[in-house]
Copies of this chain bind each other. A is one copy, B any other.
Amino acid sequence: MTSPPFKPTLLVIDDEIQIRRLLRVTLESEGYKVRETETGQLGLQEVAHQAPDGIILDLGLPDLDGTEVIRRLREWSKVPVLVLSVREGEDDKIAALDAGADDYLTKPFSGRELLARVRAVLRRTPVSAEPAMVRVGDIEIDQSAHVVRRAGVEVHLTAKEYALFQLLVQYRGRVVTHRQILRELWGPNAEDNTHYLRVHMTHLRQKLEADPHTPRHLKTDAGIGYRLVDV
């Protein structure tokens, strides 16, 4: 099935060096590539710079609360996150999971269970599904580096704008309904607030279209949704 032995890259975010060591040894023994950062801030930067295939995140970080790290990450990224914590309290678990974590493991943890949970979490996001670099007309998006360019020059997109654009890229050529977008970006309770969409769509067009008034790529299908077309 997997002909070239592809090695997923994992990012470990933890302030304790012993834990990082332990995680590195454990994960590398299974063939994963491992990167590390000590703080939440650096972790977020690292993901933005080059997206890993998964994240192991310690809740107890010196700078940001781990839950906050997940929340910010989830504004624009879907990278699987497995949370580690010493805290047994279910409030912490629930907060982290609802912030967007995919799994929660309590320290001390078994190395073999960790590996199994990492496999389970990675399995759900097909790694090679989407090429890192996608071009649509003179717009290009590098999903791993989290960068969008138009005519070669980098364009700064806000978190929501990026998330919206990424969704359209994922379904490029096809119509994405208002509902789908709203569900994905604002959650199932915002399915009717189509005006959010209109505003952010305007911003996107102003940043990505040569002539925002007559869009060539970011098309709208009245009464249905939006779509990204190549020609």
Contact = CB atoms under 8 A, between A and B. Distances in A.
Contact of A174 (B147, B173, B223): B147
Interface string A11-39: 00000000000000000000000000000
Given A142-B174, A145-B171, 18 more contacts: A5-B188, A6-B188, A90-B113, A93-B116, A94-B112, A98-B119, A100-B123, A102-B124, A104-B117, A124-B125, A127-B180, A127-B183, A129-B171, A146-B175, A147-B174, A158-B222, A159-B221, A162-B224
Contacts of A174: 129, 142, 144-147
Given A113-B90, A146-B174, A222-B159, A124 B124 contact: yes
How many copies of this chain are found per oligomer? Answer: 2
Nearest to A121: B102
A5 B124 contact: no
A212 interface: no
Contact of A103 (B120, B125, B192): B120
Contact of A5 (B90, B145, B191): B191
Interface in A63-122: 90, 93-94, 97-98, 100-104, 110, 112-113, 115-117, 119-120
A120 B147 contact: no
A189 interface: yes
A189 B5 contact: yes
A2 interface: yes
